[in-house]
């Protein structure tokens, strides 16, 4: 391993390759900030530029773009509540309220520190244990994925206030139902398209996320001008964290990085589930101290950020060691590697050790560069929120609409976005949460695919839930995760009844 590390360091730490990491991070951050252009688009856009490079340099540049794009996505989530990619949705839950409270600089700084820590932790684990983790990730089957998706859905409790669990569940069902619109690829059948060509591909994640978050938020800022006003805190550019704040986020980052990395190594799971799981886990562990979750809790911001960056690194495990792309982004990277004439798989670190180790080392170097690059930029980015609201609101709307249009070039998507935003504004005014809707939408498709496969493998029997040890353990975790909020609600209700009886 030491030899490999030295090969990686000698490849990456040349002036040329360091410049490429820096360029990758910069370009990735800028592209990632635009809704609709997430890491996949950013890498795809950069691949043609890398054709003239040697494979190691090409991969170093693309790894920089990947991390930059993830951080760029978090920036737009925090500043204008516009999560351009699914992996940064959970970041907006506490990041955006913090920015609204005049602490945009602090929110962006926590995101940067958490991303850095998550990425660094994951790069070190990848360095030590990549081949072993690859074997572990292969042990996961459809049944396990199905339970993991259910575990993700059970986290709706994390997005609801006390006594509002039912509202969150209803919104999750709404998301699951929206997710079924379009063509069922396994059966080749159209569902709920009403004969419209525009609906054959279903509702895209971006359309739904922009409509329910960014566009709905912009409309609410217009409808309630007093609440739409950002707090004019003189500290909006301040990046410093107090000792107690550091103490609060350090354990969160440790737990979320571990969880994120492990989830990231599973093919198909990726940064989105990792960020939601980490957010839910922290809400259950930390509770609402010192600020409630969803109202600007620093742990609520650090958890998804650390987890999604760690998961991004984790997704390289199956790619580099087995040649299996664990996510859409690593699938594009696999294509790039093959185009360079490198075949990823178990023999990669024997046949092309420079590429294998250079990618791993460049991940760490990329994280360092991202931190160095972004910390000075944060005060400038935070300034965005001081733009007068008559300029800011239409610009947010333009930004959201343009993001959706850039993906499909179909104006029907914009009309659909406006209609969904109308519903979302109505529901938010009636105090219904939107996050569970998006969670249901994201996980619905994967839930269906994995259940279909699991049932096919077990000849239509539901015994797959308890036949294997791994599935049984996950199933037990699911039961606990479902029971805890119910028990908590029941005991809260009992206490309330006792208090009322005592008053009488």
Contacting residues toward other proteins, per CB under 8 A: 31, 45, 166-167, 169-170, 173-174, 176-177, 180, 184, 186-187, 189-192, 218-219, 222-225, 389-391, 393-395, 397-398, 401-402, 405-406, 409, 411-412, 414-415, 418, 422, 427, 429-432, 444, 447-448, 451-452, 455-456, 460
Q: How far is the CB of 271 from other proteins (least distance, A)?
A: 23
Residues 260 and 309 sit within 8 Å (Cβ to Cβ): yes
Q: How far is the CB of 395 from other proteins (least distance, A)?
A: 7
- Enumerate residues 6+ apart whose C-beta is below 8 A from 480: none
Query: Which lies closer to other proteins via its Cβ, residue 409 or residue 503?
Result: 409
C-alpha 367/C-alpha 49 separation (Å) is 22
Residues 34 and 74 sit within 8 Å (Cβ to Cβ): no
Query: Which lies closer to other proteins via its Cβ, residue 53 or residue 173?
Result: 173
Helix (H) or strand (E) holding 240: none
C-alpha 416/C-alpha 261 separation (Å) is 36
**Looking at residue 213, what DSSP letter applies?**
I
Query: Which lies closer to other proteins via its Cβ, residue 316 or residue 464?
Result: 464
Q: How far is the CB of 269 from other proteins (least distance, A)?
A: 20
Q: Which neighbouring-strand residues pair with 184?
A: 189
Q: How far is the CB of 236 from other proteins (least distance, A)?
A: 22
Q: How far is the CB of 247 from other proteins (least distance, A)?
A: 37
Query: Which lies closer to other proteins via its Cβ, residue 132 or residue 398?
Result: 398
CB neighbourhood size of 62 (10 A):
29
**Looking at residue 211, what DSSP letter applies?**
I
**Looking at residue 388, what DSSP letter applies?**
-
C-alpha 439/C-alpha 213 separation (Å) is 13
Q: How far is the CB of 169 from other proteins (least distance, A)?
A: 5
Query: Which lies closer to other proteins via its Cβ, residue 176 or residue 360?
Result: 176
Query: Which lies closer to other proteins via its Cβ, residue 97 or residue 175?
Result: 175
Query: Which lies closer to other proteins via its Cβ, residue 234 or residue 388?
Result: 388
C-alpha 48/C-alpha 421 separation (Å) is 37
3-class SS at 201? coil
Dihedral angle computed from the Cα positions of residues 35, 39, 44 and 46, in that order, rounded to the nearest 10 degrees:
100
Q: How far is the CB of 84 from other proteins (least distance, A)?
A: 14
C-alpha 146/C-alpha 152 separation (Å) is 10
């Amino acid at each position: 391993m030491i030899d490999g590390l030295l090969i990686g360091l000698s490849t990456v730490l040349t002036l040329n390759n360091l410049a490429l990491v820096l360029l990758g991070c910069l370009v990735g951050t800028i592209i990632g900030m635009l809704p609709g252009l997430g890491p996949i688009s950013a890498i795809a856009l950069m691949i043609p530029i890398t054709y003239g490079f040697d494979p190691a340099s090409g991969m170093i540049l693309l790894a920089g773009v990947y991390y930059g794009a993830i951080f760029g996505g978090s920036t737009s989530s925090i500043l204008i509540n516009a999560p351009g990619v699914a992996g940064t949705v959970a970041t907006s839950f506490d990041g955006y309220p913090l920015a609204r409270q005049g602490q945009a600089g602090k929110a962006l700084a926590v995101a940067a520190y958490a991303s850095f820590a998550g990425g660094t932790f994951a790069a070190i684990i990848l360095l030590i244990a990549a081949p072993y983790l690859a074997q572990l990730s292969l042990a996961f089957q459809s049944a396990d994925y199905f339970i993991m998706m259910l575990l993700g859905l059970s986290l709706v409790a994390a997005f609801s206030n006390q006594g509002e669990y039912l509202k969150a569940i209803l919104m999750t069902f709404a998301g699951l139902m929206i997710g079924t619109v379009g063509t069922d690829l396994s059966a080749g059948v159209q569902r709920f398209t009403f004969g419209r060509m525009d609906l054959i591909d279903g509702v895209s994640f971006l359309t739904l996320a922009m409509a329910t978050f960014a566009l709905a938020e912009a409309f609410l800022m217009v409808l309630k001008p007093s609440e739409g006003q950002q707090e004019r805190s003189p500290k909006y550019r301040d990046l410093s964290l107090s000792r107690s704040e550091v103490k609060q986020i350090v354990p969160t980052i440790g737990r979320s990085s571990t969880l994120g990395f492990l989830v990231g190594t599973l093919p198909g799971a990726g940064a989105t589930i990792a960020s939601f799981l980490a957010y839910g886990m922290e809400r259950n562990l930390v509770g609402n101290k010192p600020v409630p979750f969803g109202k600007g809790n620093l742990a609520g911001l650090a958890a998804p950020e650390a987890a999604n960056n760690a998961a991004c690194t984790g997704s390289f495990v199956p790619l580099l060691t087995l040649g299996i792309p664990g996510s859409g982004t690593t699938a594009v990277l696999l294509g790039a590697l093959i185009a360079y004439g490198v075949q990823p798989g178990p023999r990669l670190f024997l046949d092309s050790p420079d590429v294998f180790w250079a990618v791993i080392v460049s991940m760490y170097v990329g994280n360092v560069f991202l931190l160095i690059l972004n910390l000075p930029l944060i005060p400038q980015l935070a300034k965005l929120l001081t733009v007068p609201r008559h300029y800011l609101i239409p610009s947010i709307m333009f930004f959201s609409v343009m993001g959706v249009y850039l993906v499909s070039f179909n104006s029907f998507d914009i009309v659909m976005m406006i209609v969904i935003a109308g519903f979302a504004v109505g529901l938010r005014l009636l105090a219904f949460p939107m996050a569970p809707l998006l969670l249901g939408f994201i996980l619905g498709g994967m839930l269906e695919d994995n259940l279909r496969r699991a049932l096919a493998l077990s000849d239509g029997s539901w015994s797959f839930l308890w036949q294997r040890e791994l599935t049984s353990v996950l199933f037990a975790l699911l039961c606990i995760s479902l029971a805890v909020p119910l028990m908590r609600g029941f005991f809260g209700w009992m206490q309330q009844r006792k208090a009322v009886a005592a008053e009488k």
